[in-house]
Structure 1
């Protein structure tokens, strides 16, 4: 297909310029595909795939540009859609795939209508991490009935669980006897019928969760769970192709040793694997592939590579083995249907701030953490022997935990336990992987902990008694690397900060590297991972520049001098020393401050404008001016032709600095009309 340009549009000048160490060509930024070319490619693909032709566009209005990842638009771009062009207000006409009219017109709001909508908004922090109704009821009963709200119910539950276990023990034994050996071994000790009966009585929404304990397919297309939103990711392979490629995948894995230059890590991985075998998670080792095929009774099998990462502190190092199921090809043959929602730090913070908002100052909420192990199914993992002789030993993994795309099964099991904690025990709790953080009034803290542990024991779920993992109730506790102070929740205050041990570990690493004047890639990558984990919307972005500096150093280490390395270490130490706790005052105005910013760049001059609206104080503020020429010249060093995105971001940064006394401790929503600047500010 060859078509010459009709010259009916403006052609930007051809430019070649340097940014940093790279050359950039204007043609790369101006490339566009015409509707005719797109239509022709679609027709050819449809014919090849045996799809009907011509392909019809989907019915209904289509987005003008993709929705931002992770959230919906606070205010839709259009007020309404019409089939005729309006005469009294601005609009946008949608075109068909061939460039003609589609007969649909998006009608914009007037400025006044847009402001009226904005003034009615709630902040996403208060709406996107909503506290479930079941938890709200538990909080309400605590605040209105006091510590005795659930005491009698928990005592009755204690006796009832004991009785149900006795009544179902013979049926439970009969069920286990009918299962295959590998399934029976994996669910040994589980009281599945008791667990299923409790879920039925409490109306757990996912009725198919019981079937997960019988074993599931790790490839193919599963049934959709009602626990999660829909996000379809089709498989890129098939189970048949996965098995056909298994032999050469195994050979490829043999040549990829993640710890080839780190013998200590190889021994650490070996010790972790032996521990997993002792805990019943693994079977093996098998010394050759024929032995595996004989054991499984199959002609072919799929392997995945295992490696270890180091977490924790120098005083209490924590080794975590990871099984790379993506590399083994298992994820490629799985058709995912769910968007997993993690009850992470943001969710727990939303729950804590909700309590702080509705509490009247009576009763003190404290915190603790429980842990249990979510267990499931079978895969095979390949591990190099630490003997140094180059053998590759294979282990059969009976129980898979959260390391792969199909972990939605483990999430379903975890959610079922969380559901029982809400409905049977009245807990104010969350769930992240296998951690169960909870908030409780001091006087009933011991009873709620014992009730939850008794529930786990009766349904057969193991939980950790390690003091390092099961913290006693206290005013502050560590939650996923964040220390949450709950002592002042009843006074409307929630305090969050990075764990002191995490910051100290990172600082110590920088100090040691600076003193030695040497570094290795594994050390820098581990440090970058720690910094990444210390960033978040609740823990703050104070270390964001350190994250970028580490990433830049890791990408081009050969171009870095010793002075660059010393500067990086000094920069990291200074930023870590400046980290401060984040204090959330939850009794202030709920209406957010609205800040509208805009910028312009014409004929070498950049300007900005800011409008601030505060519904609580009825404040209306306006600011504007020129951006300093020396700053614009600095932006041009990286992008000589386009600086509007930088100018738009500058307007937001300036507004935050200029009106910080107004927005301090307040919810704030920024409206910006430049997508590039918006993405940069979010990241």
Structure 2
């Protein structure tokens, strides 16, 4: 709650100012209990000279004329109330994410605590139970933001904790939302202790009290949530399940507030006397998503320790053993039967040690051991047969019990048996293709030669390229029934598309589950996941627990069958696939790594640019010379100096196997970074209707695009004829002056076209028909950004000052000197009145007095631009502009839209491929650039043209209620008398005129885009972009559309489509657009003007004060064309140095 809405703050300020209790009681009797209600109880401005309204209010409240002291107190109280409410409104309008949390007033804070203590009689709000000021302020900030946020346990501090630990102020330099550098101060409170159950209970009680004081959630409901947490905490878990720990409760607490936030998306502020959080509390409390977080969890498989629930440990599950065990503890082990065995012996069914753990010599089993043996033992092991369960005095190769055909079955093993000193990418396969597996290729590709046969099960791989494969195509065929598993092969002529890491790739999607395919492995490809059979055979465990029930009346095989390894792998594959679809990164299991005392390796999110340009592996006779960062000090064959040693493995007599990461140089890194996807490539700053227009131009052929424009234009022309009776009836209902200004406008047709594109500004057409207002609070259109400014005067206050303001302005105009432009200005004004009928007149001030009881003159003056005189009406001087309030901020991005459209069209016309645009609603526009554009792309570039509306403001009418506030007044040079004219159209110089006209301009822009035209709107200037093949159609479509709805454009200002055009103060050169290049530079005339101004200033070593604004404006404009958005930031060091 803001200061203006607090009754406690109002009462405290009234007493501090000196208002008596009796006077304040009379204020409360009238219902004036807050700053806001008192500030808006009468039409009085503290800065006004006449305080009659305030005196009348005080007299009415007290029932008698106030004394000097009472009047002084009321005057001060009203001024504070007015300033407080104005500050609250400004803070709400200008609030950003960087705005500091507003603190409660001490009176309001004490009142809330006092009221809460009176309601909660059984709870003493002292010590550990009193919430801290920072906690209450944060809760109130959440309520003011109207969006539910989570308050962490450790931040729910007590008032006692704040007093004992104190506050820490951290100052730092930071950039605000506008790019300015500012000093930022953050007040940090030390977190409270939540390590035990009692501390957690205290913290949650304080959080519940703070949420109730902020009017977010009732304390009774929050206490019910706390009791549920403690119930699950103290509940005994089932066997083999861990007790619910505090960490699990904290996760459940976060899940509860997440679900509560989803149920209160419309806001958390009180509506109709009810709290939205209270209404949704019971639903969330009983939801399955929340309760599932509080259920006891199974103990970890290999968790050791005491089984403390807080550490999430438990007794290990029983697993079948694969051997007799070591038996002697540390240092007593002799060997393992599961040691690493060469592939030749493994194919014979050999092991590495005897059942008693004695190591065996592999060379002897292969018949090639040359070492000295004593008592059938050499330095490598026993000279016995290595075949399992044999171990006699002969070599394994001569053993009659050796396995036959083991190599044929090895290809189906889930894990490779050995690398056999082969490359890493082939070590997972047997040494040579077995004959029975090789025969599988005969029915698929008879007569095909191949060197490798691989059998995959649910293989997935990222986009990669096998550059070192032979030119023989790869054959891929299904061996079972499954779904999915497509292979995406990138190709520029492909009809399919895939979005990988934000980049759209064109290619072919091969459905392997239905048929066989052949493709070139040197193209980039990606394997997608498949769904195969769900059942799995026993992996061949040595032993199982006996079938039956245990002493605890549980199945003996339940624990070992709870989560078999294949099932775990399958579940992980599903979760990984879903996470990839939702673009959520997968990290390591932090609790498991922490329990194993291992530091997590790798990165949580992938690198934008890979760290190394390539990874090279080689075998060296010894470890190379490295520096302190494990980088090469001298170059090696194929490995440059400075490369980093990633891994080294000693392979005995063969040397040291080393893997090096080769870094990129600066140029290579920049080139790689320039090829990455950039957020600007997502067209996020373009409106949806312009994005749709670009998409339509790309996926349609030139003939289809022109035909679609003609058909749509003909449809609206037919509809215009049908609406003629309605148009005539609508014009008859208009005010005569408004009807005269809007002659020729088809408003019914324009309104239907706006509904066809679902234009959000539905109130625009009613305002066009009645005329636009110049004062008051302008209605939000839903087209512009939220922002704006508050007016300093209301309409009534403006007209109350009209008499004084009128006399001052008429006197100023009568005493003004006649300059060289006075006669031409008067002639132009007479032409507007007699020929164009934009004004009505001339009249004398006395005649205007007879028309209006109160009226405001608007002084007209002349501004000469490029040799042309432009009349300007000064509505700021007449105070009309400060009586206008807006709730929207207008940002013109016409040049950005044009440049963006040019770059998009140039890119796709040149490179073609798949088109994938995402709208603000999440809808995706997917297609391919039409092939006909490729036939003209090399010879015909893009072109640009401009179109200007003729007397844009004068095509819209002014509301009759504002005729008395827009009386154009100037001096007749011939007679020297003051002459007045009544304004009938939108005036040039009024703040409201800009807002009203841009609403119409943006509507015309959106409807034009629906015809498949790429153009932009900058007030009355409309630059257009088109391919030269359809430029004639583009220009004809826009001009026909404007004529159809009745808006006039200036033919003499329109430029034809060409490759170099001056538009919006810059020169666009698209002559090289076929090469993907768009050139932008300042206009030559502006450069010459700026050069002349700089030369004059440097020669004179001085600046004329009256010419300084124009000089700085030209300099900043030219500077912004070079630096763009960096312009403001680049000037910060100079500004800081000057200050």
Taking structure 2 as the reference length, what is the TM-score of the superposition? 0.37
Tell me by how many angstroms 1:517 deviates. 12
Residue 152 of structure 1: aligned partner: 707
Tell me by how many angstroms 1:190 deviates. 0.7
Q: Please point out which of 311, 314, 325 is paired with 2:865.
A: 311
Are 2:1008 and 1:421 equivalent residues in the alignment?
A: yes
Residue 628 of structure 2: aligned partner: none
Partners of 2:1122 and 2:191 in 1: CA distance: 46
Contact 2:901–2:1025 (CA under 8 A) maintained in structure 1: no
Partners of 2:1040 and 2:1115 in 1: CA distance: 38
- Cα deviation, 1:513-555, whole Å, max 9, x if unaligned, reads 999999976666555544454442457699x99xxxxxxxxxx
Give unmatched runs, 5+ long, in structure 1: 2-40, 88-101, 104-111, 546-648, 654-675
Contact 1:164–1:194 (CA under 8 A) maintained in structure 2: yes
Partners of 1:292 and 1:478 in 2: CA distance: 45
Q: Please point out which of 364, 370, 373 is paired with 2:941.
A: 364
Are 2:284 and 1:202 equivalent residues in the alignment?
A: no
Tell me by how many angstroms 1:463 deviates. 0.9
Q: Secondary structure at the match of 1:165?
A: helix
Q: Please point out which of 151, 157, 177 is paired with 2:732.
A: 177
- Return closer, same or farther for 1:509/1:264 CA change in 2, 3 Å cut-off: farther
Tell me by how many angstroms 1:268 deviates. 3.9
Q: Secondary structure at the match of 2:947?
A: strand
Contact 2:814–2:976 (CA under 8 A) maintained in structure 1: no
Tell me by how many angstroms 1:255 deviates. 5.0
Q: Please point out which of 355, 361, 379 is paired with 2:905.
A: 355
Are 2:1025 and 1:439 equivalent residues in the alignment?
A: yes
Task: Tell which deviates more after alignment, 379-388 or 177-186.
Answer: 379-388
Partners of 2:1135 and 2:679 in 1: CA distance: 16
Per residue, is there more strand in 1 or in 2?
1
- Return closer, same or farther for 1:127/1:332 CA change in 2, 3 Å cut-off: farther
Q: Please point out which of 57, 60, 68 is paired with 2:142.
A: 60
Partners of 1:170 and 1:323 in 2: CA distance: 38
Task: Tell which deviates more after alignment, 128-137 or 162-171.
Answer: 128-137
Q: If you compute each CA radius of gyration, which structure gives the higher value, 1 or 2?
A: 2
- Return closer, same or farther for 1:154/1:257 CA change in 2, 3 Å cut-off: same
Q: Secondary structure at the match of 1:345?
A: helix
- Return closer, same or farther for 1:261/1:195 CA change in 2, 3 Å cut-off: same
Partners of 1:250 and 1:66 in 2: CA distance: 49
Are 2:801 and 1:236 equivalent residues in the alignment?
A: no
Q: Secondary structure at the match of 1:231?
A: strand
- How many residue pairs get aligned? The number is 481
Q: Secondary structure at the match of 1:436?
A: strand
Q: Please point out which of 384, 387, 390 is paired with 2:970.
A: 384
Partners of 2:607 and 2:735 in 1: CA distance: 60
Alignment of 1:11-160 (within 5 A): 54=107, 59-60=141-142, 68=176, 70=178, 84=191, 130-160=685-715
Partners of 2:797 and 2:603 in 1: CA distance: 56
Q: Secondary structure at the match of 1:366?
A: strand
- Return closer, same or farther for 1:127/1:335 CA change in 2, 3 Å cut-off: farther
Q: Secondary structure at the match of 1:170?
A: helix
Q: Please point out which of 301, 307, 311 is paired with 2:855.
A: 301
Are 2:809 and 1:253 equivalent residues in the alignment?
A: yes
- Return closer, same or farther for 1:280/1:114 CA change in 2, 3 Å cut-off: farther
Q: Please point out which of 981, 984, 990 is paired with 1:404.
A: 990
- Return closer, same or farther for 1:86/1:481 CA change in 2, 3 Å cut-off: farther
Partners of 2:1013 and 2:1065 in 1: CA distance: 22
Contact 1:381–1:394 (CA under 8 A) maintained in structure 2: yes
Tell me by how many angstroms 1:212 deviates. 2.1
Residue 216 of structure 1: aligned partner: 772
Tell me by how many angstroms 1:47 deviates. 5.2
Partners of 1:249 and 1:161 in 2: CA distance: 50
Contact 2:840–2:984 (CA under 8 A) maintained in structure 1: no
Residue 613 of structure 1: aligned partner: none
Residue 339 of structure 1: aligned partner: 889
Tell me by how many angstroms 1:415 deviates. 1.0
Partners of 2:1133 and 2:1046 in 1: CA distance: 52
- Return closer, same or farther for 1:501/1:46 CA change in 2, 3 Å cut-off: closer
Contact 2:694–2:901 (CA under 8 A) maintained in structure 1: no
Alignment of 1:369-518 (within 5 A): 369-372=946-949, 373-374=952-953, 375-378=955-958, 379=963, 380-387=966-973, 390-400=976-986, 403-406=989-992, 407-423=994-1010, 425-466=1011-1052, 469-507=1053-1091
Task: Tell which deviates more after alignment, 179-188 or 367-376.
Answer: 367-376
Tell me by how many angstroms 1:470 deviates. 0.4
- Cα deviation, 1:243-263, whole Å, max 9, x if unaligned, reads 111122223334556995671
Q: CA RMSD in A?
A: 4.8
Partners of 1:435 and 1:204 in 2: CA distance: 21
Residue 186 of structure 1: aligned partner: 741
Partners of 2:1103 and 2:776 in 1: CA distance: 44
- Return closer, same or farther for 1:83/1:410 CA change in 2, 3 Å cut-off: farther
- Return closer, same or farther for 1:45/1:261 CA change in 2, 3 Å cut-off: closer
Q: Secondary structure at the match of 1:130?
A: coil
Partners of 1:384 and 1:182 in 2: CA distance: 22
> RCO greater where, 1 or 2, for CA within 8 Å and sep 6 or more?
1
Q: Secondary structure at the match of 2:693?
A: helix
Contact 1:282–1:395 (CA under 8 A) maintained in structure 2: no
Partners of 1:404 and 1:117 in 2: CA distance: 53
Residue 329 of structure 1: aligned partner: 879
Contact 1:129–1:347 (CA under 8 A) maintained in structure 2: no
- Cα deviation, 1:636-673, whole Å, max 9, x if unaligned, reads xxxxxxxxxxxxx9xx89xxxxxxxxxxxxxxxxxxxx
- Return closer, same or farther for 1:300/1:85 CA change in 2, 3 Å cut-off: same
Task: Tell which deviates more after alignment, 277-286 or 62-71.
Answer: 62-71
Partners of 2:82 and 2:715 in 1: CA distance: 63
Partners of 2:143 and 2:683 in 1: CA distance: 25
Partners of 2:1124 and 2:766 in 1: CA distance: 41
Are 2:720 and 1:165 equivalent residues in the alignment?
A: yes
Tell me by how many angstroms 1:495 deviates. 1.1
Contact 1:346–1:537 (CA under 8 A) maintained in structure 2: no
Taking structure 1 as the reference length, what is the TM-score of the superposition? 0.60
- Cα deviation, 1:480-534, whole Å, max 9, x if unaligned, reads 1111112223422221111112333455677799999999766665555444544
Partners of 1:125 and 1:326 in 2: CA distance: 39
Residue 290 of structure 1: aligned partner: 846
Tell me by how many angstroms 1:142 deviates. 2.6
Tell me by how many angstroms 1:456 deviates. 0.9
Partners of 2:863 and 2:986 in 1: CA distance: 18
Q: Secondary structure at the match of 1:264?
A: coil
Contact 2:875–2:990 (CA under 8 A) maintained in structure 1: yes
